């Protein structure tokens, strides 16, 4: 039997051929647990048709959304997953304001540990087997640099957007999967761009193993970049 989850949307990021949507439950007493609505596909992405509202709208950051779900489906690195009921629409029932976002923040000691980094990242991955089931945080930082350009120009000319920031004394550099931020900054010249006092929704992706590598990793991603000017 299906059940309803009411969440505040803090991520609507790109994933495979669809999106990864995530948010925190809204209770009368305030913020609740994280919820990631997922599909039954092996990679769990949610399609445009599955996530859209009855009027054709797409979930936006800070929307309050009612989502019909079929079952809780936790995996080792993502205990927050709930499989959606694809036969019913999602519905927007309100919206929170930027002014109250501080009441929704998480305050972990660090972002899934430190010391593991890829060739173009910094503290941006977790070895499979080291996960603890938590895969989402909403954190405030003083500033973030968006790095636009090829991550590995010696191998590929494809451009990407990465975010570099400090949290609790540790510097991180992760890929940005917020589609609006990606689109806006890929339209700019290669370089570094600063955003002051953003709130970041950071997430652990699915396991990835490079060709020829012995170890698989969950990569840390910046799923959403929220800041005052974006919602003014």
User: For 189-225, how does the pLDDT look when each residue is reduced to its tens digit (9 = 90+)?
Assistant: 999 999 999 999 999 999 988 777 789 999 999 999 9
**pLDDT digit string (tens) for 93-110?**
999 999 999 999 999 999
Both 78 and 134 in one domain: the answer is no
Looking at the structure, do residues 176 and 91 belong to the same domain, yes or no? no
Range of the domain at 68: 3-101
Closest CA to 223 of 24, 22, 26, 34: 22
What total of structural domains would you count in the chain? 2
How far apart are the C-alpha atoms of 114 and 126, rounded to whole Å? 9
21 vs 10: CA distance, rounded Å: 8
217 in the same domain as 149: yes
Same domain, 113 and 220: yes
Same domain, 116 and 169: yes
Say whether both 116 and 225 belong to one domain: yes
How many angstroms separate the CA atoms of 55 and 89, rounded?
Answer: 10
Q: Are residues 20 and 37 part of one domain? A: yes
Q: Does 190 share its domain with 143?
A: yes
User: Residues 24, 125: one domain?
Assistant: no
Look at residues 68, 62, 61 and name the one whose alpha carbon lies nearest to residue 82: 68
Q: Is it the case that residue 156 has pLDDT exceeding 80?
A: no
């Amino acid at each position: 039997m299906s059940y309803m989850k009411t969440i505040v949307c803090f991520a609507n990021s790109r994933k495979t051929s669809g999106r990864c949507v995530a948010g925190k439950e809204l209770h009368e007493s305030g913020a609740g647990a994280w919820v990631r609505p997922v599909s039954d596909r092996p990679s769990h992405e949610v399609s445009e048709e599955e996530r859209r509202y009855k009027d054709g709208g797409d979930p936006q950051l800070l929307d309050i959304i009612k989502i019909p779900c079929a079952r809780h489906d936790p995996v080792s690195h993502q205990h927050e997953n709930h499989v959606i009921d694809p036969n019913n629409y999602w519905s927007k029932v309100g919206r929170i304001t930027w002014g109250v976002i501080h009441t929704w923040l998480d305050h972990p000691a660090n972002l899934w540990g430190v010391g593991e980094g890829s060739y173009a990242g910094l503290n941006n991955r977790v070895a499979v087997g080291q996960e603890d089931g938590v895969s989402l945080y909403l954190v405030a930082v003083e500033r973030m640099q968006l790095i636009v350009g090829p991550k590995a120009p010696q191998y590929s000319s494809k451009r990407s957007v990465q975010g570099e920031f400090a949290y609790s004394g540790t510097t991180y550099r992760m890929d940005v999967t917020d589609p609006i931020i990606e689109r806006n900054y890929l339209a700019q010249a290669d370089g570094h761009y600063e955003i002051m006092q953003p709130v970041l929704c950071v997430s652990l992706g699915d396991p990835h193993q490079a060709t020829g590598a012995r170890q698989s990793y969950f990569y840390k991603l910046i799923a959403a970049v929220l800041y005052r000017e974006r919602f003014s």
